[in-house]
Amino acid sequence: MAEEVDFSRERPGDAIVVGAGPAGTAAAITMARKGLQVMLIERGQKPGAKNVMGGILYNHYLEEVLGDDWKSAPLERPIIREDRWIMTADASINIGYNNLRNQQHPHSYSVLRARFDPWFSGQAEAAGAFVLPETVVTDLVLENGRVAGVSTGREGDVFAKVVIVCEGVGLGAGLLEKAGLKRKARANEMAMAVKEIIAMDPARIEERFNLAPGDGASIECYGHATKGLSGFMFIYTNKETLSVGGGALLSEMSDTRLTRDELEQRTPNALMEHFKSLPEIKPLLQGGETVEYLAHMIPEGGYHGIPKVYGPGYLVCGDAAMLSNPVHREGSNLAMASGRLAGETVVHCKEKDSFEEADLREYRLRLDSSWIMADMKKYDKAVPLLEHNPQMMNKYPALADRALDEFFRVDGVSKFDKQKRILRMLRKEGGLRFLLDNLKAARALRIPF
Ligand SMILES: Cc1cc2nc3c(=O)[nH]c(=O)nc-3n(C[C@H](O)[C@H](O)[C@H](O)COP(=O)(O)OP(=O)(O)OC[C@H]3O[C@@H](n4cnc5c(N)ncnc54)[C@H](O)[C@@H]3O)c2cc1C
């Protein structure tokens, strides 16, 4: 017979999950499918109501959590084309990759979290988890040196053998910080991002972005797109809308050495208006109507920014554990995968009937032996590289622009002379610094030669 559980101190559940984003819901599904007593608490009116994401979702990780059921997810368009634009004030160097095989075998889709999250948490509910929306967790309950449960505004205190914290990141102190289990992130470990959802007729989206019906594209823009700040701007095509946004390091947006006027030019809103007004971007958005405006933080602290992800009575997943890879625009997948690994760890604890800190450490070991920590280590120095070398986002794109202008311009100068000019210009203005910066970048990004 199943144990009587009501998440009281006397009859604690197996797990309480805080936050019904990709991390928390993946953890809840993994445990509920194995018959554990799980409560998934979300502060939003419904899951997804408070969430912001570009966003591109990677179906492999959804499948790892749900098996074939992932196919019924409310996804927008499979991404067939990936474009990267390195922009200067009046030119852009575009790298595009069009992969028609993705029509049959997509690995990523555009997604709107306001649609996806309620569906995803519905899968948790269907698996037997108790989903509690409109409920803010105000504190972790600490008893006898361990996290024993959570305090909620609506339901009072609830208790479980493990609390999985998947609260994401925000500007205010989160639950872990409040409980002294995580240090406050530094401004150079966080990006501030904004996003607009712009309504547009599907046929117009397809015509404008040169897509077959139903196909999707992602465009990510660097350099002048963010006024040279460390970050990028994006356009993702949804079924009937565009997701347009981007962000940059918080430390660069709030640099105390700048004047007030200069800082005003760097606010998320100023970056967004600047991006939308660029001559290459404006025509793509023309005729669209902004229906939503959202802002959110992105953790960018790298491997060294990861807090302790397990402790007595608790585990931490997803953004709350600072697991994100801004270089590859990945976060939702690290969230789902870490949530799944945390869920599997708790299932194992339940089988052993032991929920001690030493048992919960299994989660960290699983993370360490997965691609998640391999990627976190690989890109640990990527954000500091841009932060300390602003020339990479402004001077070098401008140099490349001038070299290409010379290369493509047909103006009576012989090709030999043109190539000489280009090399001379690169030597003079880029010089040894340019070569050293390339080596530095290769080393920082741990490119396997
Ligand atoms: C503009 C932008 C674009 C992005 N684009 C992409 C992309 O294209 N691809 C990608 O993979 N990733 C992208 N990301 C990153 C991705 O959104 C995150 O990595 C991912 O959402 C992390 O999932 P999570 O479950 O850890 O946290 P979240 O998605 O933030 O979920 C946390 C949940 O916890 C809830 N919560 C928080 N505190 C409490 C509390 N005290 N009580 C109850 N509930 C609480 C919140 O309401 C929320 O639902 C983007 C992020 C931003 C901001």
Task: Give the pLDDT score at 3.
Answer: 64
Same domain, 160 and 42: yes
Task: Give the pLDDT score at 1.
Answer: 43
pTM: 0.96
**Position 299, amino acid:** P
| Residue 50 CA, ligand 1 centroid: distance in Å | 9
User: What is the C-alpha end-to-end distance of the chain, expressed in Å?
Assistant: 58
Alpha-carbon dihedral angle through residues 262, 268, 270, 271, given to the nearest 10 degrees: 100
Low-confidence ranges of the chain (pLDDT < 50): 1
Task: Give the pLDDT score at 49.
Answer: 80
Specify the DSSP element, H or E, that contains 217.
strand 216-223
Q: Is the CB of 331 under 6 A from ligand 1?
A: yes
Give the DSSP letter of residue 33: T
Task: Give the pLDDT score at 161.
Answer: 98
Residue of 187, 186, 173 lying closest to 255 (CA atoms)? 187
Domain count, the chain: 3
List Cα–Cα distances, 138 to 160, 261, 279, 296, in angstroms: 16, 37, 46, 20
Q: Hey, which of 319, 330, 333, 338 would you mutate to test ligand 1's pocket, going by the most ligand atoms within 8 Å of its Cβ? A: 319
Q: Which of 278, 299, 320 is the last residue of a domain?
A: 299
Same domain, 175 and 57: yes
Task: Give the pLDDT score at 2.
Answer: 53
Note whether 376 and 303 are within 8 A (CB): yes
Residue of 194, 276, 272, 288 lying closest to 240 (CA atoms)? 288
Specify the DSSP element, H or E, that contains 32.
helix 22-32
Same domain, 24 and 143: yes
Q: CA 435 to CA 422: how far, in whole Å?
A: 15
416-433: buried (b, 16+ CB within 10 Å) or exposed (e) per residue?
A: eebeeebeeebeeebeee
- Domain housing 402: 394-444
| Residue 388 CA, ligand 1 centroid: distance in Å | 27
Q: CA 191 to CA 249: how far, in whole Å?
A: 4
Residue of 31, 27, 39 lying closest to 347 (CA atoms)? 31
Same domain, 219 and 272: yes
pLDDT by residue (tens digit) across 337-354?
A: 999 999 999 999 999 999
pLDDT by residue (tens digit) across 198-220?
A: 999 999 999 999 999 999 999 99
Same domain, 333 and 415: no
Q: CA 440 to CA 265: how far, in whole Å?
A: 30
Task: Give the pLDDT score at 173.
Answer: 67
Same domain, 40 and 133: yes
Look at residue 96 and tell me if it is in a domain.
no
| Residue 411 CA, ligand 1 centroid: distance in Å | 52
Q: Is the CB of 238 under 6 A from ligand 1?
A: no
Same domain, 68 and 163: yes
Q: CATH number for the domain including 354? A: 3.50.50.60
Q: Is the CB of 335 under 6 A from ligand 1?
A: yes
Same domain, 166 and 245: no
Same domain, 203 and 273: yes
